[in-house]
Amino acid sequence: MLICRFRTWILLLLLMFPNLFGPSLSHFDSAKKKQLREKVRKMFYHAYENYMTHAFPHDELKPLTRSFTNSLSELGNLKLEHLPQNYNGTALTLIESLSSLVILVNLFECNIRVLGGLVSAHILASDSTNRLVQGSYKNQLLVLAEDLGRRFLPAFDTPTGLPYAWINLKYGVMKSETTETSTSGCGSLILEMGALSQLTGDPRYESAALRALRKLWSMRSSLNLLGTTLDVETGEWIEHSSGIGAGVDSFYEYLFKAHILFGKEDFWRMFHSAYLAVQKYFRHGPWYHEADMRNGKATHWQLTSLQAFWPGLQVLVGDIAAANSSHREFVYLWKKFGVLPERYLLDHQMLHPTEKYYPLRPELAESTFYLYQATKDPWYIEVGETIVNSLNSYTKVEGGFASIRDVTTMQSEDHMHSFFLAETCKYLYLLFDDSFLVDRNYIFTTEGHPLPVLSAWHERLPEIYIPSNWTYIKNEKQTKRSSAMSLQVCPALNLNSGDGERLVESACHVPDAGSDHKCFSDEECGVDSTSCRRRSCSMAGYCGLWLVV
């Protein structure tokens, strides 16, 4: 009892006199974040300067041998947004290097890395407040972006409108080109190509990406699930098993972010249906397994490092509790192994025997940034510090930062992906210093390139913006039962309002029609707030999770 009273008095003293026992906690947190910010800055320039010295203008740095590699699918990440000192010189060199390319590139990778980098860098260069350009900027990057966009268009010339995965930047689609592509490959083009259309006034880029996205959505199953790979000529699925990881991940991300960037309700409706399907058929507690799109049955119980982006997307949706739950599991694995392994078998609680590597991926840092922005919980700063310390301890070498071949031995691999600079360092830096975002509204592409949210880019504002968290929205005709997602509002923190009406509990929750949970049919049952599964009516006449899916 005395200990409890002592703690109470200590807390009261700290609240009344925050500097009584030394510097304030807020001052300590600020100093800590500044220290970590500078640590990340040094990490970036260590990697960047080695790239510029030993690899530029080639695709990627080999940090152990201090040489370069041309991976084609990762043609120049165009990290221009980071170059205040030599911006103009670097931009002109890139234009001279890339304007006459005769190479085969992966459309998806070239879109998110090169076109996205050019579009984003152009926007930042055009903004005088960023002070990235010394002297005048004459839209050189936009000219190059439009040239690249035109080279993309032949890939979309298919019977379905779904683009080929590979294209030669000079000769177009080769005669013997494969017709197989991934869901991400043809469903994650709308942000960059849509932005290019907005900047140039040429609608062809957005139209091509939008047609592909809508065709892809039309191929979903009756469960609102999609597969992983498909044929662009026949429009038939090749791989029916999918999840939220490789081959599908950015499809979900771009649906929601396209809604934010362009304000079209179509994007929201597609995402809303897809998100609920993911929560119903892929989610298992804090984890997400893979399932067959045709019947929803689990296929692979495994975690992949790419899945770590999902909590960040859930933050944007407003499903903070679910985001935090999954994020903590990824952090647990990071601390267990020192870094995040590429694949972990959930059903066997062991590493995948052939995918034990860590290629400096950014997804965990990305989700940590979003969760800190949403909650301001200092625990996420601690997570960021853990990530920074691990990267410096296990991956930093004299020639940059090297991937990990095996997380059990921490053996280095002679490869530094371009996304280490474009995303990993960027999200860690923004975690500790978000001043770049103050009084600005950006979305980040899947490659970490910022695009401003502008009302001028919206064909029309979203139709339904209701400034309340009420579950029941009354109009003149009827009462509609809605969830936080369908209302496009953040989930309410409280469970009941002052006059007794019930508030939404999570982003997917839809309450039962009756407060006593009695029912006559499944239509009177809602969606469970924890599992996001559809509730059903039992023979006894009560709503619940009676069906095992």
Residue 160 identity? T
Contact by Cβ (8 Å): 274, 252? yes
Q: How far apart are CA 179 and CA 186, in angstroms?
A: 12
Contact by Cβ (8 Å): 206, 142? no
Residue 446 among known ligand-binding residues: yes
Closest Cα partner for 430 from 40, 30, 28, 42?
A: 40
Sequential DSSP letters for 197-224: HHHH--THHHHHHHHHHHHHHHT--TTS
Active site residue 49: no
Catalytic residue among 74, 109, 192, 290: 109
**Cα→Cα distances 183→135, 163, 233, 298, Å:** 42, 11, 14, 19
Structure tokens that stand for 535 in this block: 């509730």
Q: How far apart are CA 95 and CA 463, in angstroms?
A: 42
Catalytic residue among 342, 385, 447, 505: 342
Structure tokens that stand for 485 in this block: 């997602």
Catalytic residue among 60, 81, 206, 249: 249
Active site residue 59: no
**Cα→Cα distances 265→217, 460, 500, Å:** 14, 9, 32
Active site residue 363: yes
Q: Dihedral, CA atoms, 193, 199, 201, 202, nearest 10 degrees?
A: -30
Active site residue 249: yes
Catalytic residue among 363, 385, 447, 528: 363
Give the 3-state secondary structure of residue 273.
Answer: helix
Q: How far apart are CA 214 and CA 522, in angstroms?
A: 31
Q: Binding site for Ca(2+), residues? A: 446
| Known binding residues | 446
Please list the active-site residues: 109, 249, 342, 363
